[in-house]
Amino acid sequence: MSDDPQRAKRITIIAVCSCLLVAMVIVVAVGVNIDDDDSNEKNDKDNKNSRAYVSKKAIESICQPTDFKKTCEEEIGAEAGNATDTNDLIQAAFKAAMKFVSRAAQNSTTLRNLQKDPRTKKALDICIQLMTYSINELQKSFNKIDRFELPMLHEILADIRIWLSATITNQETCIEGFKNTTTDAGEKMKKALNISMQLSRNGLAIVTELSKGFHELNVEGRQRRRRLLGKKEVTVIGGKPKSDLSSIFSRRLLQAIQDTQNGVKADVVVAKDGSGGFNNIKDAINRIPLNATKPFVIYIKEGVYEENLEFGHRMINVMLIGDGKEKTRITGHVNNADGIPTFRTATVAVNGDNFFAKNIGFENSAGAAKLQAVALMVTADFSVFYNCSMDGYQDTLYVHSKRQFYRDCTVTGTIDFVFGDSASIFQNCTFLVRKPLDGQQNAVTAQGRSDVRQPTGIVLQNSRIMAASELVSLKNKYPTYLGRPWGNFSRTIIMETYIDDLVKPDGWAIWDGSWGLSTCFYAEFNNDGPGSNTTSRVKWPGIKNFSMENAVDFTPGSFFIGGDSWIRARNVPYTVGFFKNNVQQKAQ
């Protein structure tokens, strides 16, 4: 990478222009004609017609990579008027999406007020919540475009892609909530979300095309990240922050962690024995300042806390510190079998960005007979969990959306016990498979990507997949698989991981017939253990044969688009690239 900042900036400008070349040429060329007409004193009508033509062609060019071109052109045109500026047109795309998501939220409220069926009411409540989150993601994307800065282009586009992906996941989750309801509200909601879903996917397509142009010229991020890849453990605070704000945050966070570990300081302390400021966690949560710019630390002393907790989306920069994942435990038993949508079964739901948890156990104790029962659900961007446990049976850990990192954690369960549509990496974690109900089979993962452009997936690295003690003697009775395709473009990568012999030789399980088998993205790389041999794996088109060059794109330094400074700021053990020396694909 060049040391000349002006040259780097010129390259960045070229990257952007190469992606939107057609649109820009049309705008410039016809714009010159408008100016010439002015000089020749053409009438206003001709000028307006020319400007409308410029705008129309620019919109068509911007909409070219989308799957729903007619919707794209019509809705951007309605919002943009005769605008010709590329930024204005992209912002118009976000405005249109926000408008239709807002309408869907209003429809949810109206439908809810007319409903008597309890399950339908609960499903509509979820839609209202998720549409609020989607509007927030779209507004953030709009603001990023409005404050467009070339030096930060890589990070800007990465953030927008993640947020747009989350809006798609939110809308999918809304519709998912109507399963097992007895009314037509689900169909009405699906219809109400039709245009907003198309616009969300269109926005993702447009921004992905921009990212592609930037990425292909190897500007900034990729080459820098590639140099970082290796076995070395990163001392996280040693990474250079990206801004003064992140530097301040890193220092405060490190000090807060050290103080809490030394028993010196926390913003609030929770203790079952009365030695803290609160006896339960819920009361402590009520003290969290909204939209905080510095870490708010909750120290939870040893004990079992029977509570269901939700950290709202404006509870950002929250730290939850316990005495150990076997000592500080939060447990609940809400479940789907009792009529609660899966999204609402979580013992702990985390929705505020920059969430950090350490030395905490999260549990849903409902049991296998109660079907879906989530211990921990995360929709928060830049969330980190260190030395935590998530215990349950079906659907234990809901990695719902955005960017998440798990280190030295233990996850237990049976069916799809790590599921969702986030960009998640698990390093040095243990996955313990439990005994399911008779006639059931186990699946460790169920990744839910529904659009091929979503930058999401589940990555297990340097981890262990093993039978829990209750399954060890019964592992031949209950088949276990690495995963199955919940989403049509489901993506899961397992690398440098120990796979025990409980995993069936075919490795991966179907979801429903041929669903996702040709469009999923499943890969194994440099794993070991008796269950790691890939010779007898299923031969679906979606099963990938990985080399080191492929696998490196799914290490944290590359997979987390926009960079990994948010992990570096948290003072946890962290490997940027591969764990093993002389990494190479094993011959099977």
Q: Which positions are catalytic?
A: 416
Let me know: does 28 contact 227? Beta carbons within 8 Å.
no
Amino acid (1-letter code) at residue 121: K
Distance CA 196, CA 175 (A): 13
Sign, CA dihedral 197-203-209-211, equals negative
194 class by beta-carbon count within 10 Å (0-12 exposed, 13-18 middle, 19+ buried): middle
Distance CA 433, CA 390 (A): 12
Distance CA 444, CA 455 (A): 21
Distance CA 163, CA 381 (A): 9
Read off the DSSP letter of residue 315: -
Query: Tokens 């040391």 belong to which residue?
Result: 3
**Contact residues for 95 (Cβ-Cβ < 8 A; gap 6+):** 79, 142
**Contact residues for 301 (Cβ-Cβ < 8 A; gap 6+):** 269, 270, 271, 272, 273, 275, 276, 322, 323, 328
- Do the strands 309-311 and 376-378 form a parallel or antiparallel pair, or are they unpaired? unpaired
Residues 148, 154, 159, 164, Cα dihedral to 10°:
90
Distance CA 22, CA 5 (A): 27
Distance CA 355, CA 285 (A): 13
Amino acid (1-letter code) at residue 95: K
- E strand or H helix that includes residue 417: strand 415-420
Sign, CA dihedral 338-343-344-345, equals positive
Distance CA 55, CA 285 (A): 50
Amino acid (1-letter code) at residue 536: S
Picking from 213, 169, 154, 246, the residue whose alpha carbon sits closest to that of residue 562 is 154
Sign, CA dihedral 222-227-230-232, equals negative
